Structure 1
Amino acid sequence: MFKKTLLITALVITATVSVKAQSKTPVYLDDSKSIQARVEDALSRMNLQEKINMIHAQSKFSSPGVPRLGIPDNWTDDGPHGIRPDVLWDQWVQAGQTNDSCMAFPALTCLAATWNKDMALLYGNAIGEEARYRNKNVLLAPGVNIYRSPLNGRNFEYMGEDPFLSSKIVVPYIKGVQQNGVAACVKHFALNNSEGNRHTVNVNVDDRTLYEIYLPAFKAAVQEGGAMAIMGSYNLYKGEHCCHNQYLLNDILRKEWGFEGVVISDWGGTHDTNQAIFNGLDMEFGTGTNGLSYSKTNVYDNYYMAMPYLKLIQSGKVGTKELDEKVRRILRLSFLTTMNKNRPLGSLGSEEHALAARKIADEGIVLLKNKGNILPINLKTTKRIAVIGENAIKWMTVGGGSSSLKARYEITPLEGLKKRIGNQAEIVYARGYVGDTTGNYNGVITGQHLGDERSPAELIKEAVEAARKADLVIFVGGLNKSDHQDAEGTDRLSLNLPYDQDKLITELAKANKNLVVVNVSGNAVAMPWINQVPAIVQGWFLGSESGNALAGVLTGDVNPSGKLTFTFPVKLSDNGAQALGEFPGSKTEVTYKEGIYVGYRWAEEHKIKPLFAFGHGLSYTTFQYGNVTVDSKSMTASGKVTLSVNVKNTGSREGEEVVQLYISDLKSSVPRPVKELKGFEKISLKPGEQKLVSFTVDSTALSFFDAAKHQWVAEPGDFAALIGAASDDIRTKTVFSLK
C-alpha cells in the first residue's frame, strides 16, 4: 500500500512541476536538451538523502528514483535467456502474477553457436522488447565470461572459449536490447570462470592473459556495443572483490575504455563501504541476502552504500564528489531508458518472438557426427522410431539459477517430433533413466510429474527392447539444470554424463546400429561410446521452441549450420585448467597457470586431438574451398590486407557455412598460440552456388599484449592466414608480412 501511495504522490508532483513550468520547462524534463545538461540540472535539485537512496536497492530487484522530481525507479530483471517472473517486494517468493510468462530464448551458448551477428541482433531486440513491455529498464545480461573449463556450472549462460567470437556476438545483442530503451548490463566483470567458491576465491592471472583472453568481450561491449551497464563479479582479483575493484573498474573500465555507464554489483557482491565509495561501484543490490536467501524487511537502509555511507558524509570523513559521480551515471541511465519518451512499448510472448527463438535455435544446433548419413531421418523407410531419455520430456526452461524462467510454453523434443512426423512414422517413448524429477524452481512450477519408481535395470531393459523393435533410435539425454550440472552456484563434478547415461547409450548401440544421440547441455561432455554411435547432435538448452527446432534439424526441414564455440576434450586432463590442477582452486586462491592457452589454444599447443574441435559443425550438404588470395603480400603497421576465398556448395541442397579465419604468428619474441580466430562469416549457398568471402586484416589482428609496456604490440615479420571450416579443418592458407 505504501508503494502505491508513493507512486501516486510522484505523479502529482510531476504534474505540479509541469503546471508551474508552463512558461519554462525545467532542464531535466526537457528532452530537447543534452543528456549531460539534464543530468546536471537534476543533480542540482537533489538533496543528500535522495542521492544516497538512488545508489542502492529498495527491493529485491529495484532501486529508487526521485519521486519529488518525477524520476522513476530503476527496475532490473535477470536475463539472459528471457525475462524472469516478478517476486514479492521484499521476498524471493513468487508474486503470483498471471501476466509475467515470457518467451524462453535459447541459451547464449546456442546463440554463439550460430556464429551469426544477425541472430545476435534478433535475439537482443526480442528480449529487449519483452523487458520493455514488463517495464524493466535494466536487463541483467548478457554474460560473456570465458569458457575456461567444461566443469564450470554457468558456462551455458556464456558464449564460449574464444574472446574474438564472444566480442562479435555480444555487440549486436547489446544494440538489440538497448534500441528498446532498456539498458544491457553485461556480466560478470571479470574472471568469474567457476561457480565453486565464487564468493571467496581470489583469481591470480597475469596481465597478458587478462587482456588477451578475459577482457576483450567486455571491452567490445563497452566501446562497440555502448553497453549502459556492467555487473561486477563475485570473486576477488588482486585481493579486492570485483564489484569494487580499483584496477578493474577505475583503471581499466573507466580510464582505459572510457565507460560512461553504471556499475552494478552482483546480488550480495558488495563487501566494504570505503571500497564501494572509491573503487567504482555505482549501485548496490542483494547485500545481506547474498542474493539468494530471505532477509529482514528494510535491510536496504543498512547496505554498505546506504546509511553507512551517509554517516561518513555527515561526519565529514568523506566528501560527496564520488557520490555525485555515481548519481550522474544513474541519472544518465534513467534519461536513456525510463525518461526517454520515444522508447517503444515492447511486446511479450508474441508470435514474432516465437519465430525469433525458433530461428536462433535452428541455426545454433550443431551436427557433430553423421556417419553413413543416418540424418536427416528418411521418413520413406523409417516407420518406427524409439525416442529414449529423460531430456526428451523434461522442461529445461526452469532451473539453473538466475536464468530460470516462467516460460509461456515449452515444446519438448518428444512433442516436437510427434508434431512434425505425425502419422508418417510410429513414435514410441521409453524413459531409459531417471535424473531430476522436480518440476519447479524458486516457486515456478511446470506441472510436470516425472517421478518413476522403477529400478535402473528395469528402465534400461524397457529402453533396449524399444530400441530393438525400432527402425531408428533417438536418445535425448545430456545434462539438466540441477546442482552440479548446468547450474549457477555449483560446478560439475565430472566430465561424464550423469545418471549412468553412458551405460544406457552403450546398451542402445548394441541393440540398434541406427542410433542418434542428442546431447542437451551447455557444456562439453565425455563420449566413451562415440565409436559405437553413428550420429551425434549438440542440442543445447533451446528455450520455448526446443522440440520444434530439434525436430526440424533431425528431419531435414532445417539444414544444421551451428558450429561449436568450445572444445570437446576426450578426457578432462586434455583441458589446460585441469591438466595443471587449478580448477576451481582452493576456497581462497586460484591461479590460471595455463595463461593464454585456453580451449583450442591449449589443445594445439600440446598437440592434443580433441573429441570435437572449436568451430566444428557438419551440414547435410558439402562445401568446397578455393585457394585463398591476398591483395598484398606485405602491409605497414597502419595498413590493411584483404584475404579472399571462394566457397562453393558441392552438395544437393541449400546450406549455410561458417568460413573461419585464423592468424598464426610465424616468428615471435613471445610465446603465441598456434593460431587464433580473427574473422568469420556465415554464408548461405544453394546447390552449385559459390560466393567470394573476404576478410580485412589490420595490425590489431596480429597483436599481442605486452604487459611490460602495457600496450598491444604487432611485431614485424611473417604471418600465416589460415581459412577453413573449423580450427582443426583448415582448407587453405597463405603467408603475408608486416613491415
Structure 2
Amino acid sequence: MLMSYSVDAQKTQIMEKKIDSILTLLTLEEKVAMCHAQSKFSTPGVPRLGIPEIWMSDGPHGVRAELKWDSWDYAEWGNDSITAFPALTCLASTFNPALSKAYGVSVGEEARYRKKDVLLGPGVNIYRTPLNGRNFEYMGEDPYLASKLVVPYIKGVQENGVAACVKHFAVNNQELWRDHINVEVSDRALYEIYLPAFKASVIEGGVWAIMGSYNKFRGQYCSHNELLLNKILKTDWDFDGVVISDWGATHNTYESAMFGLDMEMGTGTDGLGTTALNHYDRYYLALPFLESIKKGEIDEAVVDDKVRRILRLMHRTNMNLNRPWGKMNNVEHHDVARKVATEGIVLLKNKESFFPIKDKKELTIAVIGENATRSMTLGGGSSELKPQFEISPLEGLKKRYKNAKILHTMGFASGPSAYDEVLPSPYNADSLKVEALKLAKKADVVLFFGGLNKSHHQDCEGDDRKQFKLPFGQDELLDDIIALNKNTGVILLTGNAVEMPWLGKINGLIQGWYLGSIAGNALADVISGDVNPSGKLPFSFPVKLKDNAAHYFGELSYPGDSINQYYKEDILVGYRWHDTKKIKPLFAFGEGLSYTSFELKNFKLKQKTYTKDENIIVSGEVLNTGGLDGAEVVQVYIGKPKSKVKRAVKELKGFKKVIVEKGETKSVEITINVNDLAFYDESISDWNLEKGSYIAYIGNASNNVTEKIKFEIK
C-alpha cells in the first residue's frame, strides 16, 4: 500500500514539473486560447509546442454522434454508431456498484475509440420533482445511493484515459428557466442532499472534470460561482481538475476568470458563422479575458491556474503515453447494456403472479402502445444517441415468444421526436383506439407499453413536463382496455414517476425506463421469466403531484416565479418527506418485487455503543423462500429520534445486493462509518455528530422495514 502511494506520488510530482515547464513556454495569447472553445465540442491546442486539442462528447448513456464544427447539425458520418446504454435512472435501480463500474468501463472504451478526451457525464443532480425533464439522466433522489454508484462509473470511464465530467454542479433540478432561475436553498440541504454525490465524485472517484450548471445559486451563475467553485470544490474538496461551463452558461468575463471557471464552451451557438459577435475569440474567456490581463485588471496567475488544470487534464488523457486504445461497440458492451437493463427493470405490481408470462401455444398476447415500437434513443436533448441498432420491445417479445401469438397495434401516438417543440401526431387518435380495443377484446393477455418518450415536455432536456398524468390519452385508453380485458399488465417506459389512476385495475406493472440498444431483449428477459427482476426504485412515486415535497409548498418552491425559487422542503426530499410527514407514496424509494420471495433474518449490530470514527457492522442473513434463484437488496437506514435538529425519520446509509439461490441462505455484512451519521450544523458551518440514541432500520425498501435495532453514540 505504501509502495503504491509512493509510486503514485512520484508520478504526480513528475507530471506537475512537466506542467510547470510547459507553462513557461506558453505566450499569454496561447494560454488564454486554451481556456475557451474553438468549435462546438473542442478547445484548441498549441501546435507550436505540439500540445493537442481537447475533444469532448455527450453523454452519460453513450457517445453522441459527431456534430458539425460550428452547429448542432449532425455531421452524418458513417462510422459513429455506438452502443446505447440504459439511462442512469436504470443504472441507479440496479443498486449494484460493480455493474456501474462495468457500465463506466464500457462507455469509456467507446469514447476512447472515438478519440474523445472528455465524456460529458455522468449526471448526479438530485431528483426533486417528477416534472424535471432531465431526471432520466440522473441517479435518483438519494445522495448516498448516487454517491455509491457514481464513483465506480467515474473510475471505469477514466481507466480508458478519458475524463469523466460530472454534471451539473449544482442545484440544477429543473429544466424550466434553467438558464436564469436563482435557487435559494439552506446550507444544510445543500451539504446533506445536493452536494454529496459531487463530493464523492471528487474525493473518492478522483474525477478529472466537473461541469458547471446553467442556473444561479444565491445570485451568482453556477458556472462561475465563488462559493460553489472556489470555496467548496477547489478549496474544501481540493479538486485539481478542470471546471467546464455548460454550453452557453457563461455570462461575464471577470466572474468567469475569478470565480472558478476554467474552460468556456458553447457561448456562441453559430461559432465562426454569420456574425463577429459569436466568434470564438469573442467568448468571455477569450479576447475580453486577454485584454483584462493586459490592462492589469486580472492577474496573469489566474490564467496560469486555469492552464495548469487544463494541462493536467491533458497529461491524464491525450498526452498520456500509456493510454489504452479503447474499443468500438461490441458484443461485450451489448452484454453489459443488457445486464444493466435487466437488473434495473423494476417489478412494481404482480397480482396473482401475472408475470412472468410463459410462452405457450394457444396464448394470444396483445401488445398495445406506441412505446412498444418507438425509438427511445432518439430525442432527450444532449443524451440523444445513434446506436448501431435498437431492439424494440415488440421485436424482443417476438424473438422470445416462439409459441404464443403476438399481435400489435399502436393504441396511441405522439408526434415525432423534437427537442424544442411539441409536434402533433400524424395519426387519428380515435382510429387508433378502435383498433386497440378490438385487439384487447380477443387477446388472452394485454401488455400495454406506455409512458413518456423523450420528446419535448416529456423526458427531455430544455424544458419540464407539463403534467403528472400520462400524455396522449393513455389513461383513458387503459380504462377502456381494462373494461374489455381484465388480464392486463402495464410496462412503463419513462425516466420519471407518473400518475396512475388505473393502478388498482391492472394485474401487473413493470417500470421499464429507457433501456437503450438492447431494450427489447431485456424486457423480454424479465417478462418471460428468463431473468428474475431485482431492480429497486431510485426515487419515490407520489400518488398525486401535491404529495411531492417540492410541489407541496406551492409555486415559489416549484417552479419559482421565473426569477427566484426556494427549496422550502429543505432536507426532506423524496422518501425523507414521505416518511417524516407520513404521506404514503404510490411506490416507495427502494421498492421492487421479485418472482421469488425473501426473508431477512437474524440481523444484528456487532456492538450497541459507538464513538467517532468507528465502524458500525450490520450483519444478518437473506433466505430465499421461493422457488426461483433471485437477488435481493438489503437496505440499512439510520434514524435519530429526539434529535436537537430537524431530521428525516431515517436515511439510507448502507445497502448490499445479494444473489441467493432458491432455498439457500446468504450471509450479509454492511459497514457504516459513525462519522457518516453527522448532520451539517449551520451554527458552526461544519459537520456535527450528535450523541445519543439511534435506530438502524433494516429492510428491502424504505417502506418495508423488517427489523429495528437501537444503538448509542457516545
TM-score relative to the length of structure 2: 0.96
Is residue 666 of structure 1 aligned with residue 641 of structure 2?
yes
Q: Secondary structure at the match of 2:602?
A: coil
Q: Which residue of 2 aligns with 1:511?
A: 484
Is residue 618 of structure 1 aligned with residue 618 of structure 2?
no
CA distance, structure 2, for counterparts of residue 221 and residue 342 of structure 1:
24
Aligned AA (1:585): G
Q: CA contact under 8 A between 1:363 and 1:562: conserved in structure 2?
A: yes
Q: How does 1:125-140 map to 2 (within 5 A)?
A: 125-140=105-120
Q: Secondary structure at the match of 1:626?
A: strand
Deviation, structure 1 residue 223: 0.2
Q: Which residue of 1 aligns with 2:651?
A: 676
Aligned AA (2:346): V
Q: CA contact under 8 A between 2:164 and 2:207: conserved in structure 1?
A: yes
Aligned AA (1:435): S
Deviation, structure 1 residue 295: 7.0
Aligned AA (1:463): A
Deviation, structure 1 residue 638: 2.9
Is residue 720 of structure 1 aligned with residue 707 of structure 2?
no
CA distance, structure 1, for counterparts of residue 119 and residue 142 of structure 2:
24
* Residues 381 and 625 of structure 1: CA distance in aligned 2, closer, same or farther (over 3 Å): farther
Q: CA contact under 8 A between 1:263 and 1:283: conserved in structure 2?
A: yes
Deviation, structure 1 residue 33: 7.0
Is residue 466 of structure 1 aligned with residue 434 of structure 2?
no
Q: Which residue of 1 aligns with 2:302?
A: 322
Deviation, structure 1 residue 708: 1.5
Q: Which residue of 2 aligns with 1:59?
A: 39
* Residues 326 and 369 of structure 1: CA distance in aligned 2, closer, same or farther (over 3 Å): same
Aligned AA (2:504): N
Q: Which residue of 1 aligns with 2:407?
A: 428
Q: Which residue of 1 aligns with 2:24?
A: 44
CA distance, structure 1, for counterparts of residue 284 and residue 424 of structure 2:
44
Q: Which residue of 2 aligns with 1:6?
A: none
Q: CA contact under 8 A between 2:32 and 2:286: conserved in structure 1?
A: yes
Deviation, structure 1 residue 378: 2.1
Is residue 109 of structure 1 aligned with residue 84 of structure 2?
no
Number of residue pairs matched by the alignment: 700
Deviation, structure 1 residue 289: 2.4
Deviation, structure 1 residue 296: 6.1
CA distance, structure 1, for counterparts of residue 594 and residue 443 of structure 2:
25
Deviation, structure 1 residue 202: 0.6
Moved over 3 A (4+): 30-33, 293-298, 449-453
Q: Secondary structure at the match of 1:160?
A: coil
Q: How does 1:136-285 map to 2 (within 5 A)?
A: 136-285=116-265
CA distance, structure 2, for counterparts of residue 32 and residue 677 of structure 1:
36
Q: CA contact under 8 A between 1:627 and 1:732: conserved in structure 2?
A: no
CA distance, structure 1, for counterparts of residue 416 and residue 168 of structure 2:
31
Q: CA contact under 8 A between 1:665 and 1:719: conserved in structure 2?
A: yes
Note the alpha carbon deviations across 1:690-710, whole angstroms, 9 max, x for none. Answer: 111112222223211001111
Aligned AA (1:532): K
Q: Which residue of 1 aligns with 2:512?
A: 539
**Which of 565, 572, 575 does residue 600 from structure 1 map onto?**
575
Gaps of 5+ in 2: 1-9
**Which of 315, 318, 321 does residue 335 from structure 1 map onto?**
315
Deviation, structure 1 residue 380: 3.2
CA distance, structure 1, for counterparts of residue 450 and residue 210 of structure 2:
35
Q: CA contact under 8 A between 2:414 and 2:424: conserved in structure 1?
A: no
* Residues 474 and 32 of structure 1: CA distance in aligned 2, closer, same or farther (over 3 Å): closer
**Which of 540, 543, 546 does residue 570 from structure 1 map onto?**
543
CA distance, structure 1, for counterparts of residue 305 and residue 425 of structure 2:
55
Aligned AA (1:433): F
Aligned AA (1:429): H
CA distance, structure 2, for counterparts of residue 336 and residue 93 of structure 1:
30
Q: Which residue of 1 aligns with 2:427?
A: 453
* Residues 31 and 736 of structure 1: CA distance in aligned 2, closer, same or farther (over 3 Å): closer
Q: CA contact under 8 A between 1:200 and 1:235: conserved in structure 2?
A: yes
Q: Which residue of 1 aligns with 2:470?
A: 497
Range moving further from structure 2, 142-151 or 85-94: 85-94
Q: Which residue of 2 aligns with 1:10?
A: none
Q: CA contact under 8 A between 2:111 and 2:162: conserved in structure 1?
A: yes
Q: Which residue of 2 aligns with 1:23?
A: none
Q: Secondary structure at the match of 1:105?
A: coil
Q: CA contact under 8 A between 1:142 and 1:187: conserved in structure 2?
A: yes
CA distance, structure 2, for counterparts of residue 184 and residue 49 of structure 1:
28
Q: CA contact under 8 A between 2:419 and 2:460: conserved in structure 1?
A: no
Is residue 84 of structure 1 aligned with residue 64 of structure 2?
yes
Q: CA contact under 8 A between 1:395 and 1:410: conserved in structure 2?
A: yes
Q: Which residue of 2 aligns with 1:555?
A: 528
Deviation, structure 1 residue 627: 3.0
Deviation, structure 1 residue 628: 1.5
Deviation, structure 1 residue 434: 1.3
Q: Secondary structure at the match of 1:667?
A: coil
**Which of 684, 695, 699 does residue 674 from structure 2 map onto?**
699
Percentage of pairs with the same residue? 55
Deviation, structure 1 residue 452: 4.8
Q: Which residue of 2 aligns with 1:7?
A: none
TM-score relative to the length of structure 1: 0.93
Note the alpha carbon deviations across 1:60-109, whole angstroms, 9 max, x for none. Answer: 00001111111110001011111011111112221121000111000000
CA distance, structure 1, for counterparts of residue 157 and residue 498 of structure 2:
32
CA RMSD of aligned residues (A): 1.8
Q: Secondary structure at the match of 1:372?
A: helix
